[in-house]
Amino acid sequence: MIGRASILTYGCQMNEADTTDIGQALKRAGYELTRSWDQSDLVVLNTCAIREKAEDRIRGTLGHLKSLRARRPWLVVGVMGCMAAQSADYLSHEADFVIPPMEAGQLSEVLAGLPPPPGLGEEEGDLPPLEMNQETPFKRFLPIIRGCNHRCTFCVVPNTRGPEYYEPPEELFQKVGEMRDRGVLEVTLLGQTVNAYVHGGWTFATLLQEMAHRFPAVGFRFITSHPRQFSDEIIEVMATRPNVMPYLHLPLQAGSDRVLRRMKRLYTFAEYEALVGRVRSAVPDLALSTDIICGFPGETEEDFDRTLEAMKRIRFESAFMFYYSERPGTAAVNLDGKLPIPARKERLARLIRLQKDIQMEVNQSEVGRRRRCLVERTSKKDPAVMLARTPSNKGVLVPGPESLIGSYLELEIQRADSFILFASQRA
Ligand code: SAH
Ligand code: F3S
């Protein structure tokens, strides 16, 4: 071991998947991984640039690390992830190395060029080493596409992660085979627009179908889908393969066609609603989740009402809601009609209130149902209570011993609120 390293991960699941790769590169370079970043010789920040808030948090952490240097002058700080592409100039003053997502493969070379840290202090000898993903060793993310070919006008991802690159199917099958052999029970296929997958004669539908067929004991999910490219073949695979889980993350972003056009989302609300109708009728018990942005430049009160109306009509099982954040280098920066931040926040509060009520009703309809749930971990509040997930990815709290973690249970839902279900175990 040449030193201790920790990785701080921000942002999306793609970053979580990348953190696994970064961890492996660090181990190969001779580092031991630890969660205690204040006792590390090397800290890698795997960053996010999607909204200003994410960048602010990371700037704060970089400030913290600077003050840590007073005690550990040999500390090396590296920045990876989307902020490394979006704010490279600023970071070059704050970090020892900056590697943007499209050059992530260079990490090993960079590590090899670092000066070795001084010998370990006695007092640090007994820190527990960290296995990556130790909390849920039976769930894994698998990136199948890198980058994004869309040009949504609010989004930095095409700038930070570049155009789409598709991982070869045979490599993907091999990786899932290895995961299964190590006891992984659920695999989530990842891509910014996961359903855009193409490789040779393969499409996303045929890839998903073949995955489900080759690995019948593994449950498959996939995120994120773009409504424009969601084919009937994908719906067919979801409907006919029992190990493709009934969960779909399908960002709507806005209910007004005028706003959708200005966002370059390439669909109308009517098209989106028709698609949801097709998926829901083919896949019973589907849970549909979405992303919504409010306060986009030029969004009138009437446009915003359309978003509220859309949410009432579709009744999403869950929603990630954001107010618009201006990102340097994106097309929306040049649009007129910017709203003051307090006005954006006020709309966001209304969205959240509405969705909370919808989720309460939607979750109530789960009461009395029986669901086959995977037990993930102990609940944060009570070690005698476990957190499990329904096939549609809803959280369920159930009393029980820790030994249940990693097993499937038939649970009867007894109670529900807006954010979680409560169950008892069936004898
Ligand atoms: N296709 C991607 C989208 C990534 S960003 C995926 O894999 O999920 C996730 C969500 O963040 C987007 O769907 C959008 O709702 C939100 N978002 C992106 N850029 C934003 C911005 N500038 N301001 C506010 N929200 C934004
Ligand atoms: Fe961003 Fe739109 Fe791609 S939200 S990641 S540009 S599909």
Nearest residue CA, atom 7 of ligand 1? 192
Q: Does ligand 2 have an atom closer than 6 angstroms to the CB of 11?
A: no
pLDDT tens for 390-400 read: 999 999 999 99
- pLDDT band, residue 115 (cuts 50/70/90): confident
Q: Does ligand 1 have an atom closer than 6 angstroms to the CB of 51?
A: yes
pLDDT at site 122: 44
**Number of the ligand closest to the Cα of 154:** 1
Average pLDDT over residues 217-224: 97
**Number of the ligand closest to the Cα of 225:** 1
pLDDT at site 144: 98
Give just the sign of the alpha carbon dihedral 128, 129, 134, 137: negative
**Number of the ligand closest to the Cα of 327:** 1
pLDDT at 136 exceeding the cut of 80: no
**Number of the ligand closest to the Cα of 189:** 1
Q: Is the pTM of this model over 0.85?
A: yes
- Specify the ligand 2 atom closest to the Cα of 149: 3
pLDDT at site 119: 64
pLDDT tens for 36-81 read: 888 899 999 999 999 999 999 999 999 999 888 888 889 999 999 9
| Structural domains of the chain in order of their starting residue, each with its CATH number | 3-112 (3.40.50.2300), 139-364 (3.80.30.20), 370-425 (2.40.50.140)
pLDDT tens for 257-301 read: 999 999 999 999 999 999 999 999 999 899 999 999 999 999 999
pLDDT at 195 exceeding the cut of 50: yes
Of the chain, the percentage scoring pLDDT greater than 90 comes to 88
CA 405 / ligand 1 centre spacing (Å): 32
CA 290 / ligand 1 centre spacing (Å): 10
Instruction: Give CA–CA dist 294/323, Å, rounded.
Output: 5
Instruction: Give CA–CA dist 252/291, Å, rounded.
Output: 6
CA 372 / ligand 2 centre spacing (Å): 33
- Specify the ligand 1 atom closest to the Cα of 154: 22
pLDDT at site 72: 87
Average pLDDT over residues 363-375: 94
CA 203 / ligand 1 centre spacing (Å): 24
Q: Does ligand 2 have an atom closer than 6 angstroms to the CB of 160?
A: no
pLDDT at site 133: 47
Instruction: Report the chain's mean pLDDT, rounded to a whole number.
Output: 93
Q: Does ligand 2 have an atom closer than 6 angstroms to the CB of 148?
A: yes
- Specify the ligand 1 atom closest to the Cα of 253: 15
pLDDT at site 70: 84
Q: Does ligand 1 have an atom closer than 6 angstroms to the CB of 97?
A: no
pLDDT tens for 297-324 read: 999 999 999 999 999 999 999 999 999 9
CA 394 / ligand 1 centre spacing (Å): 22
